[in-house]
Amino acid sequence: MIPLWMYLLVAAAMFCIGVYGVLSRRNAVAILMSVELMLSAVNINLIAFWRYTAPSDMAGQVFTSFVFVIAAAEAAVGLAIIISIYRSRRSVAVEDVNLLKG
């Protein structure tokens, strides 16, 4: 069997790649894609812990389902905001959304 730390390491690597994508990309849709990567990494983490420590209890899979729900809701609203910003600013680079900048 594969030890648990290998699953957790893959999930941690995916999460850190997502963190790098969120912090360094200029395009807002690319930032949203990196956030989806982070959420998927969290899901892998949750299911790995569920399988290895408490596989007869359903809490791990229920938690993962709620993370799916939240990711879907956040992707829909985030993309609606990005489209609405694009309509008024004609650009989706996040450094162009600077009306509140001093």
Partner 1 sequence: MLELNATTLAFFVFAILSLGGALGVVTSSNLIHGALYLILSLFGGAGFFVLLSAPFMAAVQVLVYIGAIAILIIFAVMLTRSMTRMTEVYNRQWWLSALVGTLLLLMLALGVIFPVWGEGGMLPNQPVSNEVATTEALGVAFVSGDQFVLPFEISSLLLTGAMIGAIVLARDTEAS
Stretch 11-70 residues interacting with partner 1 (CB under 8 A): 12-21, 23-27, 29-30, 32-34, 36-37, 40-41, 43-44, 47-48, 50-58, 61-62, 64-66, 68-70
- What is the nearest approach in angstroms of partner 1 to the Cβ of residue 9? 6
Give the span between the Cα atoms of 83 and 35, in whole angstroms. Answer: 17
| Among 21, 25, 46, residue whose Cα is nearest residue 35 | 21
According to the binding rule CB under 8 A, does residue 7 interact with partner 1? yes
Q: Is 92 in the site for partner 1 (CB under 8 A)?
A: yes
